[in-house]
C-alpha cells in the first residue's frame, strides 16, 4: 500500500494498492454494481495499465474534473476508470479498464480517507497478494494486445505512452 500525493493536489491523497493472484474479482465487482458505499474504490484491471505515469494521469484528470464539477460518471473513483479511456463511452471504459469477473491483477485506488483504514479494508476484502506498485511489475503483468486494442495503437506500449496519455487528456474535447 502506497500513498501518493500529486504535486498540485495536496488535499487529495491517493491510496494505491496493487494486487496479483486475485481470486474474488467477482465479489469485488458485485460490490461496485450494488453501489456498496464501503467499496468506493477505483478497481482497475492492471493488465491494461502501462506505467505509474499512465495511472497518475488518469487520477489527475478525474480529480480535476471533480474540482470543476463536471464528473461524467458517479464519483471520482468511477471517473478514474473512465479517465483511462480514450473515448467518451462510459460503459465501454468500465468494461475495458475496470475489474471484471475474471480479473486477477487489480490496482485499487482510493482518493482521500485514512491510509490505515483503507489498507485494512482492502486487505480484508481483496483475496490476493499485495505487491509494490512499480513500473517493472506493471510491465510484467500487462497485456500488450489489450492495450493496443483499447488505445488503437499498433506498436509496443512503451513507444506509445505519450500518444496514449495525450489521447486520454484530450478526451471529450
Partner 1 sequence: MTEPTSLSLSACSHLPIPFNTSPEPLELIAQGAESLLYKTTFLFPSQPAALKIRPVKKWRHPTLDKRLTRARILAEARVLVKLSGEGIAVGGGGRKVKDPKKGNGVVGGMRGLVPAVLGLDWEGGWLVTEWIEGGTVKEAIYRVSRARTMGGSGVGLSGDAVVEELRGLLRKMGEVVGKLHACGVVHGDLTTSNMMLRPFGTASPQSSKPEGHDEASAQLSTGPAPDVDQPKSTSRSQTSLEGDIVLIDFGLATQSVSDEDRAVDLYVLERAFGSTHPREEELFACVLDAYAHGEGSGMNGKAGKTVIRKLEDVRMRGRKKSMLG
- Tell me the closest approach of the beta carbon of residue 101 to partner 1, in angstroms: 28
- Tell me the closest approach of the beta carbon of residue 146 to partner 1, in angstroms: 14
Residue 6 CB neighbour total at 10 angstroms? 15
Q: What angle do CA 31, 105, 114 make, to 5 degrees?
A: 55
Distance CA 14, CA 48 (A): 19
Residues 77/41, Cβ–Cβ less than 8 Å: yes
Residues 164/50, Cβ–Cβ less than 8 Å: yes
- Tell me the closest approach of the beta carbon of residue 163 to partner 1, in angstroms: 4
Residue 73 CB neighbour total at 10 angstroms? 18
The footprint of partner 1 (CB under 8 A) covers 6-10, 51-53, 56-57, 60-61, 63-64, 67-68, 70, 152-155, 158-163, 165-167, 169-170, 173
Of 38 and 69, the one with the shorter C-beta distance to partner 1 is 69
Of 52 and 121, the one with the shorter C-beta distance to partner 1 is 52
Residue in the structure block whose three cell numbers are 479517465: 83
Of 36 and 155, the one with the shorter C-beta distance to partner 1 is 155
- Tell me the closest approach of the beta carbon of residue 69 to partner 1, in angstroms: 10
Amino acid at each position: 500500500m502506497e500513498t501518493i500525493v500529486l504535486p498540485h493536489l495536496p488535499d487529495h491523497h491517493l491510496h494505491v494498492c496493487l494486487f496479483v493472484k486475485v481470486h474474488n474479482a467477482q465479489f469485488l465487482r458485485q460490490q461496485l454494481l450494488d453501489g456498496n458505499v464501503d467499496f468506493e474504490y477505483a478497481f482497475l484491471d492492471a493488465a491494461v495499465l502501462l506505467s505509474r505515469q499512465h495511472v497518475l494521469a488518469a487520477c489527475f484528470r478525474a480529480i480535476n474534473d471533480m474540482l470543476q464539477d463536471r464528473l461524467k460518471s458517479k464519483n471520482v473513483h468511477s471517473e478514474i476508470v473512465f479517465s483511462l479511456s480514450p473515448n467518451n463511452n462510459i460503459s465501454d471504459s468500465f468494461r475495458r479498464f475496470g475489474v471484471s469477473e475474471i480479473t486477477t491483477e487489480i490496482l485499487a485506488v482510493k482518493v482521500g480517507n485514512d491510509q490505515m483504514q483503507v489498507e485494512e479494508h482492502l486487505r480484508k476484502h481483496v483475496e490476493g497478494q499485495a505487491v509494490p506498485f512499480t513500473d517493472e511489475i506493471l510491465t510484467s503483468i500487462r497485456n500488450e494486445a489489450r492495450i493496443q486494442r483499447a488505445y488503437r495503437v499498433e506498436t509496443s506500449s512503451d513507444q506509445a505512452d505519450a500518444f496514449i496519455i495525450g489521447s486520454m487528456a484530450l478526451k471529450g474535447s
